[in-house]
Amino acid sequence: MSTLLLEEMTWPEIKTALENGYRTVIIPSGSIEQHGPHLAQISDTTIGEASALDLAKRLGKTLVAPVIRPGLSDHHLALPGSLSLRPQIFAGLVEDYIACYKAHGFKQFILISSHGGNFSALDDITAKMQEKYPNLKFVTGLPLPDLINLLADMEREENMPAGSCGGHACDYETSVMLHLAPQHVRMAEAKAGYVGKPTPEILDRMHQKGITAVSASGVLGDPGRADAERGKRYFEKEQEAIYRAIRNKLDH
């Protein structure tokens, strides 16, 4: 197996993989949206593909679908270039992926997201698909509240100032992008945005009025000290948490 990405494989290679027990597929979803003045809009999609590939290697006998993007990003539309799908279109894309891969013989479907706005929809889709196809297995990754708590833990472990890992174009995302795809990072433009706590009131304001109601630059956190080596540690710690959240839900 020279690749685990389905879009890079030929159909005979995929057929052979299925015959050899590769019956689990990861369907990642990301976004095309603003990530402050210093990160390219492909950031969530880049991180999502890397996350799915790493997870597939950890699980074994698992292939990775093309990243679904755009995602559900209405709260970023105030800043140029951001794209957002209607919820029914996003759900339809995920469900069509599942229908196709089911027809080809996949039995287990892992739905993960590198964009927070997709999490709730994926939970709903997973429940719907499990009811529709009871003989198949559908699971999601790390719940969003757990991910938020993980960011706070990593921030403390790395001795970063409070609020550095705010969750969007922050020290975490910028450091991970410096590790994975530094060509998409403009560190000279990396500056702090909103660095307060992501309280329910703040999150509600962001989703109701858009991210610029919270941060004019579109940044939640402080990316000014981002570092590739720290990004590698962030990535590995998050991947271990995602793997633990998924492995016990799957049939082996």
Give the Cα-Cα-Cα angle 99, 25, 11 (nearest 5 degrees): 75
Is the residue at 56 inside a domain? Answer: yes
Tokens of 148: 């938020």
Q: What integer pLDDT is reported at residue 92 of this predicted model?
A: 98
On whether the CB atoms of residues 59 and 71 are closer than 8 A, the answer is no
Is the residue at 212 inside a domain? Answer: yes
On whether the CB atoms of residues 122 and 138 are closer than 8 A, the answer is no
Tokens 């995929």 — which residue? 14
Is the residue at 236 inside a domain? Answer: yes
The one-letter amino acid at 182:
P
DSSP structure class, residue 13: H
Question: What's the pTM?
Answer: 0.96
Q: What is the domain-level CATH number for residue 194?
A: 3.40.50.10310
Cα–Cα distance for residue pair 88/128, rounded to 1 Å? 13
Cα–Cα distance for residue pair 225/153, rounded to 1 Å? 18
Is the residue at 1 inside a domain? Answer: no
Total domains in the fold of the chain: 1
Locate all alpha helices (DSSP H) within 138-170, ordered by sequence. 144-157
For 252, the enclosing helix (H) or strand (E) is none
Cα–Cα distance for residue pair 64/26, rounded to 1 Å? 5
Cα–Cα distance for residue pair 99/106, rounded to 1 Å? 10
Is the residue at 252 inside a domain? Answer: no
Q: What integer pLDDT is reported at residue 252 of this predicted model?
A: 60
Give residue 121's domain range. Answer: 6-247
Is the residue at 147 inside a domain? Answer: yes
Blockwise average pLDDT, block size 10, the chain, 252 residues = 96 98 98 98 98 98 98 98 98 98 98 97 98 97 93 96 96 98 98 91 91 97 98 98 93 66
Is the residue at 214 inside a domain? Answer: yes
